[in-house]
Structures are given as structure tokens and as C-alpha cells.
Amino acid sequence: MKTLITGASGFVGSAVLRVLLKKGFQIRSLLRSSSNSENLSGLNVEIVHGDLRDPASLDNALKGCDSLFHVAADYRLWAKNTNEIYQSNVDGTINIMRAAQRQKISKIVYTSSVATLGINRDETPADENTPVTFSDMIGDYKKSKFLAEEKVK
């Protein structure tokens, strides 16, 4: 099974990548040309260059894949141009999901963020089912991940 991983050069993505390699997956990693690929050094990974904001590069990256692990995110708590965060996290997620549909990808694993969880007023632990609204999101990163998650649902 050939799998495309977005965000494999990052902290969470590189951990997912290593687990999948141990399980015998053939891995293709989508990297921006500006990405640091140090976390992929020495690993049996096919690297393709592209950008979540460029739909054509996503179709190319997904060709021949059976599954997608979308782990990439623009994780900044502040940006001079906050639109960049939304373009990567919301528009980029929409783009990769549409490309996966066009390429008939049979399995998709989407990684959101703990930042999108609601908070229980009784201080019990929260999970994906804890009610939360957009107005609960503070900051552009959280807002963008909330919006992206809503699009994936």
C-alpha cells in the first residue's frame, strides 16, 4: 500500500511516518521546496515537492497512492499576515481532500489539533465529542484548525 503523508518533515508527521514505515507501508512524502527534510534523512521515503495551496501538485503527489495521512499544518501562534495560516490550514486541507477524491484515495486519516477540543465546565477530560463552537477558538491557529476540521467532516 502506497501512502502519501503531508507534514512528514514536522514533529507529529515524522513520528507518524516512522510508525508507518515499521508497519511496512510504502511512503511518499509531500514537501514544500522550502521544507527542511532533516527528519526524513536516511529513511526509505519517496519525496515529492508541492504545496497544499497548489491543487495540481496535490494530484501529482497522490497519483498511485491508496491512502493519505494529512498531518501538515501551519502551526504559528502569530503571523504578520494571518491569511497565510488560513490558506495553509483551511484552503490547503480542502485542496488535499478534493485531490484525494479525484484520485479515488480509499483511506484518509486527517490529523486535527487538540486546540479544537471543547472544554468541559465540570473539569472532566474533553474528547472529540465535547461540544465546541467557533467562538470558543482563540487565535488564528485554533480558528483555522476548527474551520478545517469542519470541512473534513
User: Domain map of the chain by residue range?
Assistant: 2-152
Query: What CATH number labels 2-152?
Result: 3.40.50.720
Q: Is 43 left (phi over 0), alpha (psi -120 to 50) or beta?
A: beta
- Here the cell at position 63 is 497519483
Is 110 catalytic? The answer is no
Could you tell me the pTM of the whole model? 0.92
Tens-level pLDDT at each residue, the chain (153 residues): 899 999 999 999 999 999 999 999 999 999 998 888 888 889 999 999 999 999 999 999 999 999 999 999 999 888 999 999 999 999 999 999 999 999 999 999 999 999 999 999 898 999 989 999 999 999 999 999 999 999 998
Q: 5 has which bridge partners? A: 29, 69
